[in-house]
Structure 1
Amino acid sequence: DALLTAVYAQNTGVDKNLNSDQEAFQTIGDALRESLMPPQIGAALYKAAAKIPGVNVVDDAVDASGRHGVAVSQDHGNQRTEWIFDKDKLTYLGERTVLINDDSAGGKAGRILVSTAVTERAVVDKAGQKPSPGTAT
């Protein structure tokens, strides 16, 4: 609850296309996508996102590499964004965006618009350096 309160407090309302709940969901998604964090922090973000009004839990979602997990999702317009987590550890696996309804451009409901998978993350000492084999998580 404290983490979610902090997320809402951080939001500034800059994006006028999003309400405060959508902005909180986006803020958590940015952190998941762009940060290397301990697994327990990712799990806390999952649990915080699940408490945002309008967010749903998806019992079985699949990332771009084919791994099944549990997801939190939020609809915005005609798209549903899902962040996918390992079912046991709640570590972030990836995300996907799905078309909710058929659209005027010929897209069919259920079409996956974006699908990603995080297969490896690592910290290195300098830009351009590659992690040693077997050290990335």
Structure 2
Amino acid sequence: MATLFTRIIDGEIPGRFVWSDEVCVAFLTIEPLQLGHVMVVPRAEVDQWVDLPAGVAAHVFAVAQAIGTAQRSAFDAARIGMLIQGYEIPHTHVHVWPSRSPADFDLGSAMRDVPDAHADHAAATLRAQLRADGHAAFVPGD
């Protein structure tokens, strides 16, 4: 059975994508630590990141870095958070989010029921910054 993330990647479940290439995608999480919080997900269903082929892992981290750089500019972030946990869904995913304080790393404070308008704006802001940073070929349309 396909994971939730594969179903999002395949378009069965809607997602706010900010990156898409042949190896991975990135989309906003529905429970962000901060607006602009994305997950970078390899297309291949691999449960744990340590089991990813080395080239896929390197690519996922390079994309996470590009997104983090864009988040820092787009959201005026002091730091960029990154987390690999993987307990919720058995499909590797790297959380990347803009941060302004250590409190932004508390998973218990994730936002719930973020208004669509706020999430749409965060996605559009991040897409625009990724395009400005030279990654337009990988940024889906708004």
> Structure 1 length normalisation: TM-score?
0.28
- Higher RCO structure (Cα 8 Å, ≥6 apart): 2
Q: Whose radius of gyration is greater, 1 or 2?
A: 1
> Structure 2 length normalisation: TM-score?
0.27
Considering fraction of residues, name the structure with more helix: 2
Considering fraction of residues, name the structure with more strand: 1
